[in-house]
Chains A and B, each alone.
Chain A
């Protein structure tokens, strides 16, 4: 077990360095000088630009710049935002909380919608519920979630006026759980739609596999009540592939969050990323990419470990 974790970490480290190098290379060669913003300002003198260049280390050769960048990175310093002049790390940490909240809510909603539908679908194979679930998951995977988001906004915020149009709180009012939940519900449903389709399918197929097992027949023969068989014998054992899928999907949620946060003006890192791209705030763009890479690698290792806890049959050596 220890050996396995160690080997995973040993692979993750060069991967992380590879990604940092790639991010740095691309931004170094593609983005043009970070001084562009200053250069476009007519009131700044040549001398001031030179001074800024030296201050930012832009007079140094490429590899020195990379190493100084990565050195700072390990101290938790991603540089300062061109736009707000705040440390990039602070901006990201501010947004990360909102994004994580949104992601957790989305995972919960996806499970609440998809797992019961998957169970119904498996218990009624090829019958009405199965077809409904199949069509639903097919439709959801075929629809761009941002369009569903717009339609939700149109219906619930504009026409029915029961949900707020965006943001995380009512501005200028005291924080209340109810208002927070009202703001959270639409974005988290939209974000969850990414996962709902596959999750239904995974639950269904893995339930169907377990349903045929001997111990399920034995349990039924012993006269165990059907709902207990379903929950205790079938569902529990068929959740492993479902958890596997969730584990793979959670880091990918960060991608969906970018779009969702944009629609609902949710103040997370996705929103920050788009703002930064629009204002050419390169340190923030690079910082977010690096932090996401780090989170993905970390999460992959955690998921591997969780399998071991869920299924004692999995051994790592």
Chain B
């Protein structure tokens, strides 16, 4: 390591990230998808809920590029608006998991004792439980909607972040610079924010990408079961719901293939990004 001419950590990270071709591809595809779902609605002729009586079960045509669905809504519009919803649920619910999980994990690792045992035991229990059954239970009780689905997925995702930050804080806490900070009497909150959290950012970032992908899958599974986003609002999952009808599955693939492909492409891209981040940020692989 040349300390006199220290290259910026960020540039190093960029360089490492760019070496991974799949990670770049993932990033480009994801950016394109995000731009499409943000910008396209301004140009689309139909909204996701608008019904065109002529498009009832209609195959793709110049008027409806991806055809119409079983009540006459434009499939392309639903695909784009549905993408908004799926990405929204994925991102916001992960944000909620971070907000709950990180403080709990830090608390457990920093204060140890009974706080630690309660929090980490709870995390174990949450993780050993099939989350979709818990989510279905909660959603069935509170009524399905975009908001309930987002909140429930987010709240139930906390243990992933709590566990991760817990392990990180424990190992950083042993480092000399933290012990030094404790010795000179720094406040606990300052130690956590200034010394411990910045050192744990990398693994959190990686976990965030993977959780977003997982949350999108969860949302689509729920909506596929009819317990997630409710029509006329669109999500990729609830567009696939219609494919449970055998006629639609058999004779109208334009209704269910596009959202399925959109889901796979999005999740693959996010996971490629996650892998790239992991390779570029992992402290075990040398930087510089």
Contact = CB atoms under 8 A, between A and B. Distances in A.
Contacts of A147: 240, 260, 263-264
Nearest to A139: B268
A224 to B, nearest CB: 34
Contact of A273 (B129, B136, B226): B136
Contacts of B256: 150
A136 B223 CA distance: 26
B133 A150 contact: no
A106 interface: no
A263 interface: yes
Nearest to B210: A141
A150 B260 contact: yes
Given A146-B240, A150-B256, A293 B129 contact: yes
A274 B267 CA distance: 26
B133 A259 contact: no
A146 B221 contact: yes
A35 interface: no
Interface string B162-175: 00000000000000
Interface stretch (A22-30, A81-89, A169-177): A22-30
Interface stretch (A64-72, A226-234, A235-243, A247-255): A247-255
Contact of A262 (B129, B142, B225, B263): B225
B232 interface: no
B224 interface: yes
Nearest to A273: B136
A296 B271 contact: no
B260 A138 contact: no
B249 A154 contact: yes
A255 B132 contact: yes
A278 interface: yes
B267 A150 contact: no
Contacts of B213: 142
B285 interface: no
A251 B128 contact: yes
A254 B134 CA distance: 11
A165 interface: yes
Given A142-B213, A150-B249, A258-B225, A296 B129 contact: yes
Given A146-B224, A154-B250, A154-B253, A30 B142 contact: yes
Interface in A250-271: 251-256, 258-259, 262-263
B1 to A, nearest CB: 28
Nearest to A26: B141
Given A26-B141, A147-B240, A278-B226, A259 B271 contact: no
A158 B130 contact: no
Nearest to A281: B140
Interface string A14-42: 01000000010011001100000000000
Contacts of A142: 213, 264, 267-268, 271
B138 A255 contact: no
A259 B130 contact: no
B131 interface: yes
Interface in B4-45: none
A143 interface: yes
B268 A150 contact: no
25 contacts: A11-B121, A15-B125, A26-B137, A138-B268, A141-B271, A142-B264, A143-B263, A143-B267, A144-B221, A144-B264, A146-B220, A147-B263, A150-B260, A154-B250, A158-B249, A253-B130, A258-B133, A258-B136, A258-B225, A259-B132, A259-B224, A262-B244, A286-B137, A289-B137, A300-B128
Interface of B: 121, 125, 128-134, 136-138, 140-142, 213, 217, 220-221, 224-227, 240, 243-244, 246, 249-250, 253, 256, 260, 263-264, 267-268, 271, 275
Interface of A: 11, 15, 23, 26-27, 30-31, 138-139, 141-144, 146-147, 150-151, 153-154, 158, 165, 248, 251-256, 258-259, 262-263, 273-274, 277-278, 280, 285-286, 288-289, 292-293, 296, 300
Given A26-B138, A158-B249, A274-B226, 18 more contacts: A138-B271, A146-B220, A147-B263, A150-B249, A150-B260, A151-B260, A251-B128, A251-B130, A252-B128, A259-B132, A262-B224, A262-B225, A274-B136, A285-B141, A289-B133, A289-B134, A292-B129, A296-B129
The 4 nearest A-B residue pairs measured at CB: A255-B130, A30-B141, A255-B132, A277-B140
